[in-house]
Amino acid sequence: MGVSAIARRPATWLIALVLFVAAGCGDTVPQADSQPSPDGAIAPVITPVVLAEIPHDPEAWTQGLEFDGAALWEGTGIAGRSQVRELDPAAGALRRAAPAPNDYYGEGITVVGDRIWELTWRDGVAVEWDKATLTPLREVPVDGEGWGLCHDGERFVRSDGTARLRFHDPVTFAETGSVTVTRDGVPQAALNELECVDGRVWANVWKADMILRIDPASGKVDTVVNANGLWPGQAGDRDRVLNGIAHLGGDEYLLTGKKWPSMYRVRLAAPGGGPPR
């Protein structure tokens, strides 16, 4: 989805000025807070390597993105216009689409076998879909807002726009627990679209050009992706935010955003090479 003192001595003032100017130079990734981590562990920052650019519907208000090996699934938002869509993962072309029931404001989606689960923003329900027919099967109650959703093989993981990840039973969708996400020791709010990969959770951060990789056991961020400038047309338009992560396999992912005209096939490699661990 959806956030000086004056020195008495000239020498001290000059040092402060130099430090201020130095800090203002260069691109930076938004931080959860300026305070350092209490345990000294700073999450490394990586940059996506773009491998290909794929067309994307520039009117799609992307809320969820997931690849199941045969198709790319997208959930779009806005009340009365939300859809669950099947896309060609190579060309980005729309294969089919179905509207969210009851004019719900659709949010994150995830694929589990022959089912698709879709969150709603403030409607208080999650919708289970039949993947083959793209028809809704049932609705289950959800406490709080729905933002991002993924399935880690054993449970659902949900974001609600705060610094919490909430865990849900894979059958009943009953909430089973939660964890607070911290980056460098500080809670990181505005967690948005999610992707579960190999025991970690990748999360977009609303209105920030970054993606976080989270250990769901501890809530700690262990990798930060600086995606600033991935789509140059985003500059100056903070509604068209980065918001879509689909794991293709290995260290390759598809990234896109709300009303972006392109999706980007990227490699997310650790500073030393290979997928972040």
Q: In whole angstroms, what is the distance from residue 83 CA to residue 24 CA?
A: 42
- The sign one gets for the Cα dihedral 199, 210, 245, 125 is positive
133 pLDDT above the threshold of 70: yes
Could you tell me if residue 275 is inside a domain? no
pLDDT at 270: 65
Task: Give the mean pLDDT of 191-214.
Answer: 96
Burial class (CB in 10 A: 0-12, 13-18, 19+), 94: middle
Pick from 66, 83, 120: which is nearest to 263 by CA?
66
pLDDT at 110: 98
pLDDT at 39: 54
pLDDT at 234: 64
Could you tell me if residue 264 is inside a domain? no
Task: Give the mean pLDDT of 70-88.
Answer: 96
Q: How far apart are the first and last CA of the chain?
A: 27
Total tally of structural domains belonging to the chain: 1
- The sign one gets for the Cα dihedral 117, 120, 123, 124 is positive
Q: Which amino acid belongs to residue 201?
A: V
Query: Which H/E stretch holds residue 10?
Result: helix 10-23
Kindly state the percentage of the chain with pLDDT values over 90. 75
pLDDT at 32: 43
pLDDT at 276: 62
pLDDT at 22: 36
33 pLDDT above the threshold of 60: no
Q: What DSSP letter does each residue of 56-109 carry, written as one string? A: --TT--EEEEEE-SS-EEEEE-STTT-EEEEE-TTT--EEEEEEPGGG--EEEE
Q: How far is CA 16 from the centre of its chain?
A: 37
Could you tell me if residue 123 is inside a domain? yes
Domain CATH code at residue 175: 2.40.128.630
Q: What DSSP letter does each residue of 109-153 carry, written as one string? A: EEEETTEEEEEESSSSEEEEEETTTTEEEEEEE-SS----EEE-S
Kindly state the percentage of the chain with pLDDT values over 70. 81
Cross-strand bridge partners of residue 75: 64, 84
Could you tell me if residue 259 is inside a domain? no
Q: What is the pLDDT of residues 218-253, one digit of tens each?
A: 999 999 999 998 987 766 666 788 999 999 999 999
Task: Give the mean pLDDT of 67-72.
Answer: 96
2 pLDDT above the threshold of 90: no
Task: Give the mean pLDDT of 65-73.
Answer: 96
Q: In whole angstroms, what is the distance from residue 211 CA to residue 252 CA?
A: 14
What tokens were used for 127? 């919708």
74 pLDDT above the threshold of 90: yes
Could you tell me if residue 141 is inside a domain? yes
What tokens were used for 190? 């505005």
Could you tell me if residue 87 is inside a domain? yes
Q: What is the model's pTM?
A: 0.83
- Average pLDDT of the chain to the nearest whole number: 86
Could you tell me if residue 242 is inside a domain? yes
Instruction: Answer yes or no: are the C-beta atoms of 261 and 245 closer than 8 Å.
Output: no
Pick from 139, 152, 215: which is nearest to 182 by CA?
215
> Which range among 4-13, 115-124, 200-209 shows the weakest confidence by mean pLDDT?
4-13
pLDDT at 121: 97
* Domain ranges, residue 237: 10-45+60-250
Could you tell me if residue 224 is inside a domain? yes
